[in-house]
Chains A and B, each alone.
Chain A
Amino acid sequence: MRDLTGRQETIKVPGKTVGQVIAALDAAYPGIRDRVCEGDRIGPAVAVSVDGRIAQLELFESVGEQSEIRFLPALSGG
């Protein structure tokens, strides 16, 4: 998504949940929401990591003031 953020690799935004963070990212860099969400959910091929842990609550997952959020390919099992 660095094409939307001017090649910045790390962005700081406010938010208390993953959903609020994505909204803030999209406000600053329009189009980001569409890259990671489908409808009102995180896209099924995307996983969100908060402080190194996959966010099972997706958009409702709480984040701290210093939390690190990453977007990854969703993994699967068999």
Chain B
Amino acid sequence: MRKKETGRADQSTLTGGYAVIGTRPPRYDAVDKVTGRALYGPDIRLPGLLHGKVLRSPHAHARILSIDTTCAEALPGVYAVVTAEDLPRAEDRRARLGEGAVNFKYLCDNILASAKVLYVGHAVAAVAASTPHIAEQALALIDVEYSLLPAVVDVLEATRDTAPLLHEHMGTRSLAGESRTPSNTASHFQQVKGDPEKGFAEADVVVEREFRTATVHQGYIEPHAGTAIWGADGRLTVYATTQGAFTARDQLAELLDLPMSRIRVVPTEVGGAFGGKVTTYVETVAALLSRRAGRPVKIVMSRSEVFLASGPTSGTAIRVKMGATRAGRITAAQAELYYEAGAYPGSPVGSGAGVMFGPYDIPHGQIDGYDVVVNKPKTGSYRAPGGTPANSAAEQVIDELAERIGMDPLEFRMLNSAKEGTRQIDGAVHTHIGCYEVLETAREHPHYSAPLEGPHRGRGVAHAYWGNWGAQSSSAISVNADGTVAMVTGSVDLTGTRTSLAMQAAEALGLTLEQIVPSVADTDSIGYTEVSAGSRTTVATGQSVVKAARDVIAQMSERAATLWGVPADTVSFHRGTFTTGQDATKSTTFGELAAMLSRTGGPITGVGNIDVQEWGAAFGTHIVDLEVDPETGKVTILRYTVVQDVGRAIHPSEVEGQMQGGAVQGIGWALYEGYQYDEGGQMLNPTFLDYKLPTALDVPSIECVIVEVPYPKHPYGIRGVGETPILPPPAAIANAIYRAVGRRMDRLPMTPGRILEKMGVI
């Protein structure tokens, strides 16, 4: 294991013997993005472009009795009006798209409501007009008759027999089949390891707590946007703000009942996504309008629409019970997780269950997960989907267990740390992991032992695990005569991955980074590539570009062999130079050989198609010092440290950015963010004015400690880094608040008012 402390002015590299990997070059996309030249979805301009607007339900739950678009269609400047009638009927079948299961019937109904509206903001109709203002006028002319129904927006309320049903024919699905009784509980799973009853009986100390968390949005600055244009040949082109062009294409194909070969998706630069831009929202509507109008149509969501009608993550109700011996060994763990799915089934409750106890070796356990529909927008993924609420609950109970036993919080976690071969409650077995190393590094960090003086100040820690992902990627590397290479991948660049991928290619090819020209392709121009999500891009597409690079080297070696008249298997390549064992006088650089390609057989393109089936999990520990104002309840974070195993840091600055960014989002989740609803299901804070995201004024400089426990099955030992850091902050902060004011928090966000209530001040 190697570790480096970073975040200081004299930041060093983590080269580990590599020429490019471990350095901190400027990002390829940096200049365009900071100068405003980068092309985002809302920036798309096409000749004849029309502007689309969406009419959305003002009601949380209602039947649609009729929709009259006559007056809207007659308004001068309006070119098309569409409703659900214009969508082909999507099948009631599920597929794995992006990163989870998608039911196409529900996806279709979420795009444009048919029989019922299920949340405020649910799309009902759409208009394309020559100006955005005419489009808005036309929306006001669409007459929709509703029959109101009672709404339910609380996850536990929705499970009661008396709750209004969102889908009258939906029973509860599990591996035991689907129940016939209609229910808002869409599914239930149960995972069992050993004998939990026996495990609790063996415990000397048992802690049981209940927690609630609010619906939270990813908070990306760029809203959803889609521009659609049909060619005269009937092919559709869509410019989309998406994390995955191929996933978007597959969704469009299903929703529009088109062969996927008739659709090209061009991914634009993305101004933040965090999982929320895997599902398509406005693209399908833009395509319907464009087909009807015979002109390109662009739809850009407003900020309120993003809050009301995209995919926030679940509010939850979680109960956790854990037991341990006085010697500090955890004997049993049990949890019930109720996750809001929003209007249609499919919350990330499974992922939450999969990671909450993952860092620990627990002999007996049971987890029950419930996916519950409520009258809120259908949930989407948000950075380690499902993980943060579950981790928040488990890590607070672990903190309390350690305190009751009288053990240091990190020592307690280290004593129970998972290692290679540890079986989790769901049956998955840990492979080569850095769980213990991360905890040990945190314990040894100066922050953990620094004095913290003053009233109402406390220090808290939390630890977390995220499994990460591999899956399919495609890339191609073509050699230019000047010794540079064009590297094309199918991975949308959300986080600087053009650079981290180019660095891996440069390392494999023995070139400088300046000799790599990266680009992100559309769906016509590269092979299938999975979404940029699940912390997979640098890992899986990285392996893809390394494979393409090796293919280039193999082909170039054959050219060298041809030039020298030697067998190809005698040619070697090292750090940019080809040599042969047959003749020590023969050598040529990559650049010299590139200049001769046209005379030695023509162009060379290396291909890297891959389906990564094994990948390394990541662990992180956060340490936070804070102060609570006893009069206002306001929390001020004084110091924050993130310790995380990244396998190998390809670009340490990008890695630190992920660690800091995830931590800041977790801080927002802990202290500030949450959808607020009235009893009728109206969201009360659908703008950034009232939905508070943390800003630079709210967080201190975040210190990052990169731990490197290389994953042995990746060429460079990389582990995914992006999601793990959002998991620990709420629990770390809750544990620190406890030490500051002596009160255990049980609800997120931990607002000043809630802290004062716990303290008994109000």
Encoded as 1 (CB less than 8 Å from any A CB) or 0, chain B from 187 to 223 comes to 1010100000000000000000000000000100000
At the interface, yes or no: A11 with Cβ under 8 Å from chain B? no
> A51 contacts which chain B residues (CB < 8 A)?
429
A58 nearest CB neighbor, chain B only: B96
Q: Is the CB of B427 within 8 A of A49?
A: yes
Hey, which bits of chain A sit against chain B, CB under 8 A? 1-3, 31, 35-36, 38, 43-46, 49, 51-54, 56-57, 68, 70-78
Q: Is the CB of A56 within 8 A of B384?
A: no
> A73 contacts which chain B residues (CB < 8 A)?
189, 349-350, 353-354, 369, 426
Main secondary structure of the interface of B (DSSP, over half): loop
Q: Is the CB of A53 within 8 A of B176?
A: no
Query: Separation in Å of the B616 CB from the closest CB of chain A?
Result: 12
Q: Is the CB of B614 within 8 A of A53?
A: yes
Q: Is the CB of B427 within 8 A of A77?
A: no
In the bound complex, CA of A72 to CA of B427 (Å): 8
> A31 contacts which chain B residues (CB < 8 A)?
177
Please report the number of residue pairs spanning A and B whose Cβ atoms sit closer than 8 angstroms: 114
Q: Is the CB of B275 within 8 A of A74?
A: no
Which of A1, A38, A53, A56 has a CB less than 8 Å from the CB of B94? A38
> A45 contacts which chain B residues (CB < 8 A)?
94, 100-101, 187, 350
Which of A43, A56, A76 has a CB less than 8 Å from the CB of B534? A76
Q: Is the CB of B427 within 8 A of A70?
A: yes
Which of A3, A68, A72 has a CB less than 8 Å from the CB of B176? A3
At the interface, yes or no: B469 with Cβ under 8 Å from chain A? yes
Q: Is the CB of B381 within 8 A of A76?
A: yes
Instruction: Supply 13 further A-B pairs (C-beta < 8 A) apart from A53-B429, A76-B348, A78-B380.
Output: A35-B176, A44-B94, A44-B101, A45-B187, A54-B428, A56-B470, A56-B613, A71-B175, A72-B427, A76-B98, A76-B350, A78-B218, A78-B384
At the interface, yes or no: B611 with Cβ under 8 Å from chain A? yes
> B93 contacts which chain A residues (CB < 8 A)?
38
> B710 contacts which chain A residues (CB < 8 A)?
none
Q: Is the CB of B274 within 8 A of A75?
A: no
In the bound complex, CA of A38 to CA of B92 (Å): 12
B102 nearest CB neighbor, chain A only: A44
> B290 contacts which chain A residues (CB < 8 A)?
none
In the bound complex, CA of A18 to CA of B753 (Å): 53
Which of A1, A3, A49, A57 has a CB less than 8 Å from the CB of B428? A49
In the bound complex, CA of A46 to CA of B102 (Å): 12
In the bound complex, CA of A36 to CA of B612 (Å): 23
In the bound complex, CA of A54 to CA of B613 (Å): 8
At the interface, yes or no: B15 with Cβ under 8 Å from chain A? no
Residues from 363 to 384 in B contacting A, C-beta threshold 8 Å:
369, 380-384
Q: Is the CB of A74 within 8 A of B350?
A: yes
Which of B96, B175, B384, B385 has a CB less than 8 Å from the CB of A44? B96
